[in-house]
Structure 1
Amino acid sequence: MGTSEPNMQFQRLVRETGWTLRQCAQAINRVGTERGTPKQYRAPSVHQWLNGGMPRDDVRPLILEALARQLGRPITLTDVGFPDSAKETEETEASSPGISGGLVDLGRMDMDPSRRSVLGVALFSVALTIPNWTDVVGRMEAVQQGNRTRVGMPDVHTVSAMTERLSSMDDQFGGRTARPLAATFLVNTVAPFLRMDGPETVRKAMMSAASDLCYLTGYMAVDEGLHGLAQRYYLKALQLAGASEDHLTYCTTLRGMSVQAVDLRHGPTAKRLADAAAAASPQAGPRMRAFLAGQQAHAAAQVGDRRAARRYLKEAETAMDKAESAGRAFGSYDPASLSYHTAQVRFEMGDVHGAVAAMQESDRKRYDVYRRTRVKERAILAERQLAVGHLEAACETWGLALNDYPLVQSGRIDQRMTTMMSLIAPHVRNHDAQALYERARDVIRPDLIPH
């Protein structure tokens, strides 16, 4: 239903974007496609909204995000002249400012299948407000009493040990398997610990451990393709890292947010976050410097800053040489990761052959325990091999990815398998392509196969 009056607020914002009605509709459709709910709006729909027609509840977040991306600032329902909705209120609750309270709200929504759909369609926001280190450092919440009244270092060790095990599960089996366990642990165990009294050193250690777990849970949400949900977990990780004065997790989380943005092709946002992560870590050791500079290189390449991309990649290579000579640190940023970033920089710069070579080097260096990453990046390698005309090599690489695919529950890898089927279909007259296609049809879920 519409109103009798034009929506002057919406009109003002659309004028500020410089869009035509058609461009506005296309921007909204792009956001809908990214969320997994494609739309086919055209200029007449935008005209109707400008003149007082009210878009459906599920479309309003798409309009807000499209405007925010164009204008470079957050846009609210009030700004655009739309009424509040139950869904918007529920999403806001999940990102409430209280550290432990907001964590419980978010985790409970994530645990409850009847409410998870609200988070599942939450949008990745380029205008998300990221708290600065100085804004979050040293915050302490009022103590809330539970059945136990004090937290000790053994409790901190419990959270850290569980995070390590969940991370290993994620590496082996994917985010869809491990994330529900992480959300449950956050709500039932970690949040009560955060409410307990205890020595300041223990309280800070617990918040640091909780921050690390929130970062991991956000990373697993990215793997499942739940990008708005991932941002909420990342924000909680930043808050907790600041409260515990944990520079490492704060920087790691900012970098993770940059990885999410660059994979979604939001280059300027990715570069801003990667640079913020590096700036917040002035005392980084060589492996951490490689970890940060590699991501800066990828983000710079995506926005077309070739000089900066080469400089950061060289920094990462030099830092990695120092880190490796000082002793290999299993489970952290390693030479396989650096080769992957080299491949991404080359690809963004148009050197697809060079990207293929670097991806192959990354695959050779990767530890076997990182099965999810191996499947994902072999699928990317195969796509690029096909792009340079190496059909048989691409089929062989996709075949290796299929070997592990049934063991991994990952939204990102599901999408790569759908892409594989689309890319290989035109080549089924080739013997290798036909064999791959027929094998994949027996392995991949039917709903992931394009028709």
Structure 2
Amino acid sequence: MGGNEQLAALMRQAGFLREDGSVGLKVFARAVGEQAGRTYTHTYVRRWLDGMIPRDEQTRRAITDALAKRLGRPVEPHEVGFGGSRKVSPDLGLSYPDKALDGVSTLGGLWQADLDGLTTLLSAPANVAAWNEASLSWLVSTRHDLISGTGRRRIGPADILGIRSTTEMFDRLDGQHGGGHARRSLVEFLRTDVAAVLQGTYTDEIGRDLFRVTAQATLLGAWMSYDAGLHGLAQRYFIQALRLAESTGDRLLGASILDAMSHQATFLGNFREAANLARAARMGTETAGSALALAHFYAMEARALARLGDAAECDRAMSAAVSQFERRNPDSDPAEWFGYFNEAELAAELGHCNRDLGRAVDASTYASQSLGPSPSGYVRSDFFATMVLADAYLDQGDAEQACEVALGALQIGEQLKSARCGAYVDEFKQRLARLGNSRAVSDFIEQAAHTRLWRPQDARTVPSRGGLPRS
């Protein structure tokens, strides 16, 4: 993995970087500083050459202006590897890479295209065949990747810790404010800081830890993109995260990514594919020793089967989820990232399933158990569970109670930027319309009209049936 060869080539062409390897980094730093009206050092230039893209537009423009001044012609951002006016294959990221390093290169392209706002990817739909290919490739893989880097910067445990702690910060923001809140900032972190670390030098042992935390950070980027309604882009991030996870030998991490892909497939109405993705996750990890993970995989399978209307198979999967959950030992479970999957989360999953099977009373019971006597602290999760409860009351014919609960959900949702939240609201509207008008309904609509999520939004995807996945 090299650095930013496009920038290096233009620096050589402009005389800032000589062919024999000697460098004039300080000279280039001064030239950029003159254009920006601020001071840069040779350390900044070294980072740019290593592949880090400056976050601020002023610095990026100063770099191209400094090169343009020396070359005597305009220099566009994409010429120095900073994106801009360039074409990207509409299939970028859909294929499951044969080699781990190919996946790293693909991710770099996805991150940059995302930041450039290329509609080719941002508006792309999900591809059903890509789910099938990725899950099968992961399930039957016998590859053993050798992971090492040979760049200028030496990478160690502190770099791994930095990526992990930053990812955890973005994860908290996602749960509190939705995927649309800080998604771009996460992608900028991936494209600059993480990309620069990937281009460093490290041993195979450090490399596996690095690829693991990168896979986890990319998985979060996929979740946030999915939550923001960018489904084709999210699918690509899921697939590339899965390939990174495979290269580390961490089967549980890979299975959790398939589990997330199942989540998205159910949301988009691809129920059979969703069930198969959850089954693949389970089949690939049955001997991994994580009852908590198996419980979640069964729950995802149940969610898809409920949407298919297959009550018998859904009941089987729900029963298996409960059985595995009762066997869990959170203190020693190897899939520590499923630690959030507690009694409230399981109840929420069962609430969704029963709602979609037409068991409104059971759905309201489980949704109420999920919400408990006080908020969970996961704002978006509380919103989803509250909307399921409102749906269940509507299905029981209790419009007044349903509207009261839904209004509480809308108030929770005021701080969320989430296309999925909007889809839950749109579905509630459809259910409400079937009841006809009443004083309770008209009073609710008058109050709801003042909330952000009740107003029509773009980029919402409403599945053909209820049961939208929970975060």
TM-score (norm 1): 0.73
Q: Select 2:271's aligned residue among 267, 275, 291.
A: 267
The question of whether the paired residues in 2 share the 8 Å contact of 1:137 and 1:244 is answered with: no
Q: Select 2:288's aligned residue among 278, 283, 286.
A: 283
AA of the residue aligned to 2:457: L
Structure with bigger helix share is: 1
* Unaligned ranges ≥5, structure 2: 1-84, 461-471
AA of the residue aligned to 2:294: R
The question of whether the paired residues in 2 share the 8 Å contact of 1:271 and 1:299 is answered with: yes
Post-superposition offset of 1:361: 1.6
2:115 corresponds to which residue? 111
For residues 212 and 344 of structure 1, the distance between their equivalents in structure 2, rounded to whole angstroms, comes to 27
Post-superposition offset of 1:89: 5.1
Q: Select 1:232's aligned residue among 232, 236, 242.
A: 236
How big is each residue's C-alpha offset from its partner over 1:10-63, in whole Å with a ceiling of 9 and x where there is no partner? xxxxxxxxxxxxxxxxxxxxxxxxxxxxxxxxxxxxxxxxxxxxxxxxxxxxxx
For residues 245 and 374 of structure 2, the distance between their equivalents in structure 1, rounded to whole angstroms, comes to 29
Post-superposition offset of 1:134: 4.7
AA of the residue aligned to 2:183: R
How big is each residue's C-alpha offset from its partner over 1:214-253, in whole Å with a ceiling of 9 and x where there is no partner? 1111111111121111110001111100111122210100
In the alignment, does 2:198 pair up with 1:194? yes
In the alignment, does 2:89 pair up with 1:90? yes
With over 3 angstroms needed to count, the CA separation of the structure-2 counterparts of 1:367 and 1:196, relative to structure 1, is farther
Secondary structure of 2:126 counterpart = coil
The question of whether the paired residues in 1 share the 8 Å contact of 2:107 and 2:240 is answered with: yes
How big is each residue's C-alpha offset from its partner over 1:76-129, in whole Å with a ceiling of 9 and x where there is no partner? xxxxxxxxxx9995322355741221111111111123x1x3222211122112
2:404 corresponds to which residue? 396
With over 3 angstroms needed to count, the CA separation of the structure-2 counterparts of 1:166 and 1:403, relative to structure 1, is same
2:359 corresponds to which residue? 351
In the alignment, does 2:125 pair up with 1:123? yes
Larger Rg: 2
In the alignment, does 2:298 pair up with 1:296? no
Post-superposition offset of 1:209: 0.3
In the alignment, does 2:258 pair up with 1:254? yes
For residues 157 and 89 of structure 1, the distance between their equivalents in structure 2, rounded to whole angstroms, comes to 33
- Higher RCO (CA-CA < 8 Å; seq separation 6+): 2
With over 3 angstroms needed to count, the CA separation of the structure-2 counterparts of 1:294 and 1:367, relative to structure 1, is farther
1:384 corresponds to which residue? 392
With over 3 angstroms needed to count, the CA separation of the structure-2 counterparts of 1:142 and 1:205, relative to structure 1, is closer
For residues 432 and 447 of structure 2, the distance between their equivalents in structure 1, rounded to whole angstroms, comes to 12
Post-superposition offset of 1:306: 3.6
AA of the residue aligned to 1:118: T
The alignment's C-alpha RMSD in Å is 2.9
Q: Select 2:169's aligned residue among 137, 152, 165.
A: 165
The question of whether the paired residues in 1 share the 8 Å contact of 2:355 and 2:388 is answered with: no
Post-superposition offset of 1:403: 1.6
How big is each residue's C-alpha offset from its partner over 1:166-198, in whole Å with a ceiling of 9 and x where there is no partner? 111110000001211221111101122122221
Secondary structure of 1:260 counterpart = helix
Post-superposition offset of 1:143: 3.6
The question of whether the paired residues in 1 share the 8 Å contact of 2:90 and 2:121 is answered with: yes
Q: Select 2:344's aligned residue among 336, 349, 355.
A: 336
The question of whether the paired residues in 2 share the 8 Å contact of 1:173 and 1:372 is answered with: yes
Post-superposition offset of 1:213: 0.9
For residues 166 and 351 of structure 1, the distance between their equivalents in structure 2, rounded to whole angstroms, comes to 37
In the alignment, does 2:443 pair up with 1:435? yes
With over 3 angstroms needed to count, the CA separation of the structure-2 counterparts of 1:87 and 1:338, relative to structure 1, is farther
1:59 corresponds to which residue? none
2:327 corresponds to which residue? 322
Q: Select 2:246's aligned residue among 222, 242, 246.
A: 242
Secondary structure of 2:327 counterpart = helix
Q: Select 1:312's aligned residue among 305, 310, 317.
A: 317
For residues 285 and 142 of structure 1, the distance between their equivalents in structure 2, rounded to whole angstroms, comes to 29
Secondary structure of 1:91 counterpart = coil
For residues 321 and 162 of structure 1, the distance between their equivalents in structure 2, rounded to whole angstroms, comes to 33
* Unaligned ranges ≥5, structure 1: 1-85
With over 3 angstroms needed to count, the CA separation of the structure-2 counterparts of 1:435 and 1:350, relative to structure 1, is closer
For residues 301 and 258 of structure 1, the distance between their equivalents in structure 2, rounded to whole angstroms, comes to 13
For residues 444 and 420 of structure 1, the distance between their equivalents in structure 2, rounded to whole angstroms, comes to 15
AA of the residue aligned to 1:322: R
Post-superposition offset of 1:378: 1.6
For residues 203 and 241 of structure 1, the distance between their equivalents in structure 2, rounded to whole angstroms, comes to 12
